[in-house]
Chains A and B, each alone.
Chain A
Amino acid sequence: MFKKQYESHETVTIIFEGKSLDVGIGQTVAAALLGEGHLIFRYTRVSGKPRAAYCLMGVCFECLLEINGQRNQQGCMIPVSDGMKIKRQMPPKGKIQ
């Protein structure tokens, strides 16, 4: 859905869903995930449907992720850092559609 126009001057390694990704420094978690082709950030608590980052400026709260063990983190507000562990935010079991 998005492509990078250039390679970053420096990268860090983040771990998304257990998989290491080398991503450009100075960008947010949400941008980094979109750049790697990961569109789905979470499954909702109410219907279990997939959601993706929507506004990327801190307003919509659609990019909520689990970052370093903390739930409800706004992926679009947090810069990537080396070794950062990121997971999709999941609803209670059995809800995913």
Chain B
Amino acid sequence: MSIAEYDYTIIGAGPAGMAAAITARKHGLKVLVLDEQPTVGGQIFRNIEGLEKYRNSEFHKLGAEYLSGSKLVQQFHNSGVVYLNGRSVWQIDRDLGIHNVSTIPTDQKSSVPQFCKTKNLLIAVGAMERPMPLPGWTLPGVMACTAADVLYKSSGMIPQGKVVLAGSGPLLLLIASRLLDAGVKISAFLDTTPRGALIQALPYLPQALRSFGYLKKGLEMLWKLRTSGIPIYSGIQAIEALGNSKLEEVRFKKGMKHQEVSADLLLLHNGVVPNVQISRQLACEHSWYDVQRYWEPIVDDWGNTSMARTAVAGDCGRVSGAVISEISGHLTALDTVRQLGAITLKERDKLSLTLRQTLKNHQSARPFLDKLFQPTQNLIVPNKEDVLVCRCEEVTVREIRETVRLGFQNPDRLKSMIRCGMGPCQARMCGLTVSEIIADEKQISPEEVGYFKIRSPIKPITIGQLAEND
């Protein structure tokens, strides 16, 4: 059987992936896009086509940024790209052989090729929420806050009962404001942003004013929240989810005082971090971004990583939101087009001039936002010893600390001793916390500690699927 070969394979059909595909097609490349989700749009434009078609009034409620996605999706579909949805990439070889499977169990013997080769690769898999380990976060009824957004966009469902939001970050504000718009009664908003964060961020404000749109949007959301009449608690610490087989109560500390509110649903958020599973599996070099406390692949101005012919674009690099992701998708594709000889260096630079200017404008607010919404430190390393860090293998803070004290001081050695990071999520939910706990225990930076070595398969596959893969 002949192996399918492409000039450019893009993983992820969010704003960055779609933009890159459009630009690459414009210059005649043979482009494949593999996306894990059932429909295009990534998380930000999730179910955009379904909403436009069947729930048009809600579609318009989601705001101008969401509406702009519709144009991008249309250009994407008309670009002549080969787009495969519902495909999970589980391994990428050093020579850019790409192994993938269908996410749909009944579809595993489909005719879609499960292996292909590509000249250049773009990783555009987006970001994920930073794990927010706290007592009781594995109880049914506790969810990541974007889960509420997913349910709203893809299924038209909204939370009911006693809904509590907790954490910090622009996304938490956005989701709170969406829920309010949808008529959800929020029982409590627990803001963990440390007092003083604003003062630390102030030096970056003048620069941020250049892209006033972001700040205006943020202020509007804050205003909506403040005037909504929902109970807002600021400077919150020591959040605990309590209940037997499901969430019943949320306990927290404000000042010196502990309080409880009863809850059916607790939505957590402590910022967004790049999804680095694929760039790590490929052994791209990563560096530690201390302000936001996450790893990001090291890239040049065009998104090229340390691995030849491999680039990243969008929030799986530095987390920057949909608009910047889209621009970075166009830019990285232009350089790929150049690498493959379809345009010259000069043409690339000329074609990217306007994009660079727009990018610069949009990026000016980021240092301010990143500083203002730094992840809350006491939510990164739980101060209670019996909190589960690794949800899959059920490993606690105590076990990790004790094992570090025994001398197992890097994530991989810990993994082989106590199985943290060995479950199906492959450290997506515990990796950052494990590095932070080791760093805390040794009083060094997570950068020195390092991260788990991410090995194939990065998505669980069956032995049968592995056997079929030749």
Contact = CB atoms under 8 A, between A and B. Distances in A.
B389 to A, nearest CB: 13
Interface in A24-69: 24, 26-28, 31-32, 34-35, 39-40, 44, 46-47, 49-62, 64, 67-68
Contact of B103 (A49, A74, A81): A74
A57 B150 contact: yes
B152 to A, nearest CB: 8
Interface string B26-45: 00000000001110000100
Chain A binding surface SS class: loop
A9 B182 CA distance: 20
A54 B158 contact: no
Given A55-B129, A59-B425, A59-B429, A1 B265 contact: yes
Contact of B140 (A51, A57, A81, A84): A51
B206 interface: no
A13 to B, nearest CB: 15
A4 interface: yes
Contact of A4 (B157, B245, B265, B392): B157
Contacts of B38: 28, 77-79
A57 B128 contact: yes
A54 B393 CA distance: 16
B275 A2 contact: no
A72 interface: yes
A44 B394 CA distance: 9
- Best-buried of A9, A46, A76 by chain B (most CB within 10 Å): A46
A13 B150 CA distance: 22
What size tier do the contact residues of chain A reach?
35 or more
A3 B147 contact: no
Contacts of B160: 1-3
Nearest to A47: B394
A31 B157 contact: yes
Contacts, number: 139
B70 interface: no
B80 interface: no
9 contacts: A2-B157, A24-B155, A31-B155, A40-B140, A54-B147, A56-B150, A58-B36, A59-B428, A61-B429
Contacts of A73: 105
- Best-buried of B43, B86, B103, B428 by chain A (most CB within 10 Å): B103
A57 B43 contact: yes
B151 A64 contact: no
Nearest to B142: A54
Contacts of A74: 103
A68 B428 contact: no
A20 interface: no
A72 B425 contact: no
A2 B159 contact: yes
B166 to A, nearest CB: 14
Given A60-B429, A74-B103, A78-B105, A54 B143 contact: yes
Nearest to A5: B156
B155 A35 contact: yes
A8 B154 CA distance: 11
Contact of A34 (B104, B157, B423): B157
